[in-house]
């Protein structure tokens, strides 16, 4: 009989760990929005965020991977980003230091900051993030006194250069 209890315990232990995994409170069990669980959100559901010029130095920099990035014809940068977590809402901020590297065409670096808000879960959600590049366009127009141009955008942690024309 005692051997049967041990077998029953060892059979239920992995299942209970699966269900109790990372929940710290009942709020942690709330379902995430569809855009946090789907590989890519539909365009109608994607929130467009601005690029932030001169971000504070203390912004969190939790781990993430940029799987893909592109710039559409409307001057928006979309990225497929994967990160560890799944139990809390994550925040992303795309920062630009306001500088251009002198080349032809000019180049600039953008840095994506990620705040996991202490999420220690082990899922690997992939989200689509979209940012309006108007701040870069206005910065270019102010610096070069030209209404049109091209900027080669480099993203920290992404190996490809993204040409942005306006």
The yes-or-no verdict on residue 155 having pLDDT over 70 is: yes
- Band (30; pLDDT cuts 50, 70, 90): very low
Q: Which of 148, 165, 83, 144 is nearest to 117 (CA)?
A: 83
* 155: enclosing H helix or E strand: strand 150-155
Cβ contact 120:157 at 8 Å: no
pLDDT in tens, 42-94: 334 568 999 999 899 999 999 999 999 999 999 999 999 999 999 999 999 99
User: Between β-strands 65-71 and 76-82, what pairing exists: parallel, antiparallel or unpaired?
Assistant: antiparallel
pLDDT in tens, 122-132: 999 999 999 99
- Per-domain residue ranges for the chain? 29-165
**Token digits of residue 107:** 């180049």
Instruction: Give me the percent of the chain exceeding a pLDDT of 90.
Output: 71
Distance of alpha carbon 125 from alpha carbon 16, whole angstroms: 22
- Band (12; pLDDT cuts 50, 70, 90): very low
pLDDT given at position 54: 87
SS3 137: helix
CATH of span 29-165: 2.60.40.2370
pLDDT given at position 81: 97
């Amino acid at each position: 009989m005692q051997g049967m209890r041990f077998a029953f315990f060892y059979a239920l232990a992995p299942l209970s760990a699966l269900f109790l995994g990372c929940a710290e409170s009942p709020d942690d069990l709330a379902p995430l929005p569809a855009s946090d669980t789907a590989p890519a959100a539909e365009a109608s559901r994607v929130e467009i965020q601005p690029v932030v010029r001169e971000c504070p130095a203390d912004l969190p920099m939790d781990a993430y991977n940029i799987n893909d990035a592109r710039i559409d014809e409307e001057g928006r940068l979309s990225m497929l980003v994967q990160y560890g977590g799944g139990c809390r809402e994550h925040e992303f901020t795309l920062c630009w230091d306001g500088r251009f590297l002198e080349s032809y065409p000019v180049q600039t670096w953008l840095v994506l900051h990620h705040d996991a808000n202490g999420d220690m879960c082990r899922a690997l959600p992939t989200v689509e993030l979209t940012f309006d590049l108007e701040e870069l366009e206005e910065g270019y127009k102010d610096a070069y006194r030209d209404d049109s141009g091209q900027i080669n955008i480099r993203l920290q942690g992404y190996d490809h250069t993204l040409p942005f024309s306006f």
